[in-house]
Structure 1
Amino acid sequence: MGNPSPLNASSTPDLERNDSGHFLMNETVRKFSWQGLTVTVKDRETKKARDLINDISGDVQHGELVALMGPSGCGKTTLLNVLARRAASAGAKVLGESYVNDAQMGSRNFQRVTSYVEQEDVLIGSLTVQETLKFAADLSLPSSVSKRERMDRIRTLLEAFGIQNQANTLVGTPIRKGISGGQKRRVSVASQLITNPKILFLDEPTSGLDSTASFEVMSYAKELARANNLLIIASIHQPSTTTFNLFDKLLLLSAGKTCYFGAISAVDSYFSDIGYPIPAQTNPAEFILDTVSSDFANSKEEDRVGVIQTAWANSNEAKLLERQVSERVCSTEKSVNKASAEEETRSGTISITIALLHRSFVKSYRDVIAYGIRIAMYLGLAIMMGTVWLRLHPSQDYIQPFINAIFFGSAFMSFMAVAYVPAFLEDRATFTKERANGLYGVTPFMVSNFLIGLPYLFLISLLFSIVSYWLSNFQPTAEAFFTWVMWIFLDLVAAESLVVLMTSIFPNFVISLALVAFANGLWMSVGGFMVTQKILNPFWKYVFHYIDYQAYVFQGMMVNEFSKRNYSCGADCRCMWATDLEDQCLIRGTGVLESYGYPTGRTGKWVGILLGIIAGYRVLGWIALYLRRS
């Protein structure tokens, strides 16, 4: 990849106005400043208050690109989150103020003029580059922006970031190769610029990239900032000399305190003045990071860091910065809290839900991991079940195999829903990023996730049933077949809802996978097949059996098979189940049901309970996502 060509105003999006000429805010963001930012948490070991960042101030003008640097654990990400008004840390106390155009801005309006690009590229790999920007526009732009204007913005951003030739290329999945790492970073940034923000926060935008790709990404960011008066603050770790020199300002942290804030061009002279000159032919970023690092330092080197922090606190530059910010804020009484008409007409819940449904649909038919592999898995299970329990006869010797097949079909269909865990984790990560940027809340995500799965789960249920039901020779009527399909479908919907609940609470692949598997094992144990509900231990019966969705599926399928079917007792007429048809050498199927304690005529009730369990899982998942911000 070559170096990016310079951007100009005619080839980049106008970040001051949208394409229809409406200002996103009543005022242009000319400057962004903060004063006395301090984040305090309680230390887990000492139980005493500890500052993650301490008394940080800064001032950035429009068109500037600011580097936020420091050794690992110095508080870069914490400060970036505080500046972006995101959660700093669990249980943290935040002090200090930030100002836009020397005035405080309400959180809602602040969110509308800012965007945040995560350290990891949270992109949907089965979408193309252009589709990624298109769905970003659908989810974030107000309804007043027409389809043509949206496409103009997308085309302009593709050209501005030099990815127009990759517009129709997939981002990339573990199975299908897509665009390069540097191009992914540009797509991530471009997708956040679709709303024309005034302030952009980048968390480690060059993480995982080589020096050439890092320079490329930051070059595009710098030219974009200059051409459009955009304010960009980027945390960055150990950039190359060429990448470091792209920045206009540097905010250097160590142990949560400021070591330097000012122009990049003045870094050399400042550190020379305080006794730490940067050697010739040395990467200045690497040198100053080593100088302020205390990770593996002895007491002398720790004293050095303290000296540098004290030198900054007593410097004329620090005093001038504090005075300028204080004087400007005190002399300003205006506030930037009025939203324009365009902001008030942002896309509603229904429009956002439709956009999410559309995006999920595109992903689902392209991403074989989401449903393609699962369909193949279930078809394999159907063939195995149908051939193991092949051509069962309506006689008493086959009654137990019929029951075993019913249990296997219902229990293992739901157990195999664990395959949905990775797909939902990807969707959840995308939701977390987009929610943090204020695009939408929990409800559109949960509704779209539920609706998009229904047709695929029904298709799986139908295909599985067509193969297994007729091979095993269950009750050969259309009514019984479609009732079986209904129970399999509800079983899968409940199982997938359980996955959504567990993964919403524990967004970790191994943990959520283990918990879903454990829960399904529990439901198998208390569902009524292993131990009938008539003799099941009262604790397991009253605590777990009645909330076990597999129990209702199993007994519903049992009633479907045995309520209207009779079975022969064999040549010697020794019937294993005593029913009113024993004198005819037959077993009435209801006798089998009575041995399990299953009444007939309650299908509607069981379906209602099952729907309630499904709704309960989804509501609890909604609550988990609502309460959990990451």
Structure 2
Amino acid sequence: MCMTTCLQHAVANPVAYQFMEVTDVLAIIGGSGAGKTTLLDSVALEPRPGRRAGQVLLNGQELDATLFRSSCAYVAQSDACAPSLTVRETLQFAASLYQGRATRAERAKGVQHLLEECGLDACHDVKVGDDLVIRGVSGGQRRRVSLAVELLKRPSVLVLDEPTSGLDSKAAEAIVELLTGIALANNLAALCTIHQPSSYVFQQFDRLLVLAKGRVCYFGKADAALQHFQDIGFPSPSGVNPAEFMIRITNADFAEEGQVARICDAWDAACREAQPSLSGVLTSGPPQAAPRASARKQVGKLFLRAVRSNLRNPIAFAGRAALTALLVSFVCVAYLGARKRNQENVLNYLWAVMWVQQLPAFLCIGAVPNFAREHRCFRKEVKNGLYHPLSHLLADMLVNVPIWFLLAAAAILPSNLILDTPLIHSPELWLLLAAYIGFNDTFAQLCGSLGTGSPLGIMVFLMQTILNMIFNGTLLAHQSEVPWMLRWLFYARP
């Protein structure tokens, strides 16, 4: 499948488009299936199926992942921030990594200025939240937090996917007004997709790109768009929202047959007459991002953020440890007769040991939906160059390894007390159980990164847990009696 966007169309004709200049804000509009998201994902280097055609140039240099991390920033449609941090703490964390070589006073001053500029000073001590576990700030405020975080990077180009999605008309107007003001004040170029902007929002844009069926219907100054459509025989009725009018006449699903093709062909002809040899580029100011923080500082800041998140979200660890101890205690009480060391209780004792092992590992299933949310934040922060993936891995291990040992202790202590198990091998059992919990917790994180949601990840995690229970040597004790094609599972399981 070939990418049908204005980039491909430009190369094929061959006419391309200079998307924006410094301080310009470009709006990309069009009906459903017009190619807005495909084009934006191409500019933002988001992974998509199919084959890409054409080039995206930034100041004459082909845009790749390295150049994007150094000079650009991407704000996705869904806000991805650490929900347990306050607004100020979120900006301070970003400033400490984006502007790692600046002094603390300089970063604090920049954060305070951005809080005031983005209208977030009144809620600076409120948690960002996620509207699931933590309520936090409102949707419009959370959107402004996401924007403010990337502004701390001081990018040359800011790419936004539906920045007004889910907001009321006034909140959407405030977001776009903030965006245009910041673009002018910070000497950056911004491009964004907009779904059905109001007339007030439309007036804020410098440039406009109208797409239909992957082709360009209009590209140029936003205030000159209606005149172009009038010149090609599509005048706008008075009193109608300009954006609504253009989306209406270029929507291939509802327009008259051939109308969209005529509009696109008219634009192609106008381009060939006016500028027959344009090169498709993004033009912005010189890269202005501050030097990033060192790897050591990245690990330290990520470690502190993870610790703070766990302390402020008791369900993350304390609730899980309490539930582990409670479930293990309940099962051990059910197998209380296994305290008697005789032949009749051998099987019961074996089953009790298996449940002590499996229950704390099974509770790792809670990490699947939790990491599905964290993974979106991780992808956004790494993509924008906030920190290196290895820094996140090291910080995550520093936080989680002690937790694995504490969860193992929460399972072993009740079993020792209730079942009177021998203490001589407790250190070895503690180490093995902590390693097994760590494996399941890590596998749950992997499942949480599958697709865009957690149902598939939960099913995969459950399948893995069931296989572990079957082939752990308790339910199937004799390997020779298992069909040969399944015997490898005795060795593959942890």
TM-score w.r.t. structure 1 length?
0.72
Does structure 1 residue 356 correspond to structure 2 residue 314?
A: no
| Residue 336 (structure 1) shift | 9.9
Does structure 1 residue 213 correspond to structure 2 residue 178?
A: no
Report the equivalent of 2:432: 487
Report the equivalent of 2:90: 132
Report if aligned partners of 2:4, 2:215 keep a CA contact under 8 Å in 1. no
Gapped runs of 5+ residues in structure 2?
A: 11-15
Secondary structure in 2 aligned to 1:529? coil
Q: Distance in 2 between the 1:122 and 1:359 partners? A: 15
Code of the residue aligned with 1:468 in structure 2: it is S
Identical-residue share of aligned pairs (%): 29
Code of the residue aligned with 2:50 in structure 1: it is G
Aligned-residue Cα RMSD (Å) equals 2.7
| Residue 140 (structure 1) shift | 2.6
Gapped runs of 5+ residues in structure 1?
A: 1-41, 43-48, 550-630
Matches within 5 A, 1:57-456: 57-84=17-44, 86-87=45-46, 89-100=48-59, 103-104=60-61, 107=64, 108-141=66-99, 143-173=100-130, 174-297=132-255, 301-315=256-270, 319-321=273-275, 325=278, 346-390=292-336, 392-456=339-403
| Residue 206 (structure 1) shift | 0.4
Report if aligned partners of 2:43, 2:56 keep a CA contact under 8 Å in 1. no
Q: Distance in 2 between the 1:282 and 1:226 partners? A: 29
Secondary structure in 1 aligned to 2:353? helix
User: Which residue of 479, 482, 487 corresponds with 1:537?
Assistant: 482
Q: Distance in 1 between the 2:425 and 2:438 partners? A: 20
Q: Distance in 2 between the 1:314 and 1:535 partners? A: 76
| Residue 196 (structure 1) shift | 1.0
Report if aligned partners of 1:67, 1:251 keep a CA contact under 8 Å in 2. yes
Higher alpha-carbon Rg: 1
Report the equivalent of 1:581: none
| Residue 193 (structure 1) shift | 0.5
Q: Distance in 2 between the 1:193 and 1:434 partners? A: 13
Q: Distance in 2 between the 1:498 and 1:97 partners? A: 37
| Residue 399 (structure 1) shift | 2.3
CA shift in 2, pair 1:99/1:409, >3 Å: closer
Q: Distance in 1 between the 2:363 and 2:63 partners? A: 47
| Residue 367 (structure 1) shift | 2.4
Report the equivalent of 1:468: 415
CA shift in 2, pair 1:426/1:386, >3 Å: same
Q: Distance in 1 between the 2:5 and 2:26 partners? A: 21
Deviations 1:19-70 (A, max 9, x none): xxxxxxxxxxxxxxxxxxxxxxx2xxxxxx5634421513422222211111
Deviations 1:245-283 (A, max 9, x none): 111111111111111112222122222221111111211
Q: Distance in 2 between the 1:388 and 1:246 partners? A: 68
Code of the residue aligned with 2:274 in structure 1: it is L
CA shift in 2, pair 1:468/1:290, >3 Å: same
Code of the residue aligned with 1:94 in structure 2: it is A
Report if aligned partners of 2:156, 2:285 keep a CA contact under 8 Å in 1. no
Q: Distance in 1 between the 2:285 and 2:198 partners? A: 38
Deviations 1:390-420 (A, max 9, x none): 2622233322221110011112322222111
The higher-RCO structure (CA 8 Å, 6+ apart) is: 2
Report if aligned partners of 2:97, 2:292 keep a CA contact under 8 Å in 1. no
Deviations 1:285-332 (A, max 9, x none): 1111010001244xxx131111111111122x6643555x45999xx9
| Residue 484 (structure 1) shift | 3.2
Matches within 5 A, 1:557-568: none
Q: Distance in 2 between the 1:534 and 1:312 partners? A: 72
Secondary structure in 2 aligned to 1:111? helix
Deviations 1:602-630 (A, max 9, x none): xxxxxxxxxxxxxxxxxxxxxxxxxxxxx
Does structure 1 residue 51 correspond to structure 2 residue 4?
A: yes
Code of the residue aligned with 1:277 in structure 2: it is P
CA shift in 2, pair 1:420/1:395, >3 Å: same
Code of the residue aligned with 1:423 in structure 2: it is N
Q: Distance in 2 between the 1:117 and 1:368 partners? A: 29
Report the equivalent of 1:565: none
For structure 1, which segment, 153-162 or 357-366, has the greater mean C-alpha deviation from structure 2 after superposition? 357-366
Report if aligned partners of 1:78, 1:88 keep a CA contact under 8 Å in 2. no
Code of the residue aligned with 1:58 in structure 2: it is Q
Report if aligned partners of 2:188, 2:285 keep a CA contact under 8 Å in 1. no
Q: Distance in 2 between the 1:529 and 1:88 partners? A: 44
CA shift in 2, pair 1:494/1:68, >3 Å: same
Report if aligned partners of 2:56, 2:62 keep a CA contact under 8 Å in 1. no
Report if aligned partners of 2:22, 2:285 keep a CA contact under 8 Å in 1. no
Report the equivalent of 2:13: none
TM-score w.r.t. structure 2 length?
0.90
Report if aligned partners of 2:206, 2:222 keep a CA contact under 8 Å in 1. yes
Report if aligned partners of 2:209, 2:219 keep a CA contact under 8 Å in 1. yes
For structure 1, which segment, 213-222 or 415-424, has the greater mean C-alpha deviation from structure 2 after superposition? 415-424
Q: Distance in 1 between the 2:63 and 2:247 partners? A: 35
Report if aligned partners of 2:317, 2:403 keep a CA contact under 8 Å in 1. yes
CA shift in 2, pair 1:105/1:424, >3 Å: same
